[in-house]
């Protein structure tokens, strides 16, 4: 479905960038934002679209299309992931770059927001083709990257190996090692400990704080997780380990499984690795992704794609807390419905900010060549996420708005202040 205007109205085709703009517009109205600053923040500052010729294993050359959007750098170098996906679009990359801008601001790290992507299906590429594609992207986009300009990271269907190839290619172009250009790298190339599960770990901190505010003991709370990729599987594991929750349902792109008595995260992770899907997990009932979203559980964790909770199904959501590990899983129309139902929503660019926070920690460690142990990273991540959560909650109470609007108000005000102080508008 599409948010066809700043009002966020939905119709037949969803446009994530229109949705991101609608969310900004709402925050600007609440804040009484200067119209010139508002106009500047509605659009990316810079974007690049590139054609990437790649020699395939059969000797032919295939042309891939790539993007990099640097949305706003008023608070510091832009930061954001690289996605390899067959349905990648420039509007989705723009939206994700905008959300990265607000994400960095809401956790108060000195970075702006960026995002990149390549239109491709990684399942159809060999390791050699994937490496050549990764290096081709850096050869084209590397001129606008750098530790003081724009720092990519892994995202959908990219991983530490791809980041290693990209960091190496950039270093070749520079003539010296420059690990700080990329985060999410392997540890041996300057990566940070805790980076692999940082997104989910930050989300668990937010769930813990939300439960405390609501006077709920997390032990034994039931959880349903839509999406069982990196964030989803770590959420299942850490939810059990850190919060004592009971995971009763999980799903992936092929469907979901449910067991009221609980699913053992370690076992279903092993099953997914062995079969490629959560379907067929022993002792579990098969359900659809839509069924999972509407289950009567304490915590719902959307960790899949955009636009999953919308005007058509939001009234059927029964969770007490929604913790958005995915980007843009809830439309503006759905937000209003959930707010009226009294569901406590932890918005995406707060809930999933653990990843960029530890990526920032990786940049800091790269900059001075000294690396922290895992406990130090975990403690500093928990501190950052806790502070950000309560800043948003307090803004929601003060302004009498929903949590997403409050998160936007906190983040947009910080970016707007930087824009104003720098004399941009």
CB 393 within 8 A of CB 106: no
Please state the separation of Cα 327 from the chain's center in Å: 5
Catalytic residue among 115, 193, 378, 384: 115
Catalytic (active site) residue 115: yes
Cβ 297 vs Cβ 249: under 8 Å: yes
Rg (CA), the chain: 21
Q: What is the largest CA-CA distance in the chain?
A: 62
Rounded Cα distance between 166 and 179, Å, is: 10
Of 299, 348, 309, 351, nearest to 330 by C-alpha is: 309
CA-wise closest residue to 2 among 317, 306, 338, 339: 306
Q: CA-to-CA distance for 373 and 388, rounded, in angstroms? A: 23
Q: At 247, is the secondary structure helix, strand, or coil?
A: strand
**Exposure string (b/e) for 3-23, b if CB count within 10 Å is 16 or more?**
bbebebbbeeebbbbbbbbbb
Sign, CA dihedral 179-111-238-365, equals positive
Task: Assign 48 to helix, strand or coil.
Answer: strand
* Dist CA 317 CA 46 (whole Å): 38
Q: Which residue has the tokens 């003060």?
A: 398
Query: Contact, 90 vs 337, CB < 8 A?
Result: no
Q: Dihedral of CA 324/327/329/332: which sign?
A: positive
Q: Which residues are catalytic?
A: 115
């Amino acid at each position: 479905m599409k948010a066809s205007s700043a009002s966020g109205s939905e119709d037949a085709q969803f446009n994530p960038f229109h949705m991101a703009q609608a969310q900004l517009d709402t925050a600007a109205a609440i804040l009484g934002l200067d119209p010139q600053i508002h106009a500047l923040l509605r659009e990316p500052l810079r974007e690049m679209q590139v054609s990437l010729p790649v020699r395939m294993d059969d000797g032919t050359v295939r042309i891939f299309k790539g993007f990099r959007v640097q949305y706003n750098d008023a608070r510091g170098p832009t930061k954001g992931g690289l996605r390899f996906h067959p349905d990648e679009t420039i509007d989705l990359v723009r939206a994700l770059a905008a959300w990265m801008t607000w994400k960095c601001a809401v956790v108060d790290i000195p970075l702006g927001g960026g995002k990149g992507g390549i239109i491709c299906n990684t399942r159809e590429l060999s390791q050699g083709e994937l490496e050549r594609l990764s290096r081709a992207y850096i050869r084209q986009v590397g001129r606008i990257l750098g530790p003081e300009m724009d720092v990519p990271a892994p995202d959908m269907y990219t991983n530490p190996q791809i980041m290693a190839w990209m960091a190496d290619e950039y270093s070749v172009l520079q003539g010296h090692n420059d690990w700080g250009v990329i985060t999410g790298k392997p540890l041996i190339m300057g990566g940070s400990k805790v980076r692999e599960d940082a997104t989910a770990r930050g989300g668990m901190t937010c769930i813990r704080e939300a439960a405390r505010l609501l006077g709920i003991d997390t032990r034994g709370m039931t959880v349903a997780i839509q999406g069982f990729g990196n964030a989803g599987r770590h959420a299942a594991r850490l939810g059990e380990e850190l919060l004592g929750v009971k995971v009763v349902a999980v799903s992936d792109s092929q469907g979901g499984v449910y067991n009221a008595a609980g699913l053992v995260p370690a076992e279903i992770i092993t099953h997914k690795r062995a079969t490629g899907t959560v379907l067929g997990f022993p002792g579990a009932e098969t359900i659809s992704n839509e069924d999972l979203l509407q289950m009567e559980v304490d915590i719902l964790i959307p960790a899949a794609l955009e636009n999953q909770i919308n005007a058509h199904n939001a009234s059927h959501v029964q969770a007490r807390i929604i913790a958005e590990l995915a980007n843009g899983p809830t439309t503006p129309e759905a937000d209003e419905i959930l707010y009226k139902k009294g569901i406590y929503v932890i918005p995406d660019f707060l809930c999933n900010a653990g990843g960029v926070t530890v990526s920032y920690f990786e940049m800091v460690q790269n900059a001075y060549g000294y690396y922290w142990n895992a406990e130090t990273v975990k403690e500093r991540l928990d501190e950052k996420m806790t502070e950000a959560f309560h800043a948003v909650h307090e803004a929601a109470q003060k302004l009498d708005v929903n949590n997403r609007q409050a998160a936007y108000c906190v983040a947009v005000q910080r970016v707007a202040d930087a824009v104003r102080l720098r004399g941009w508008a």
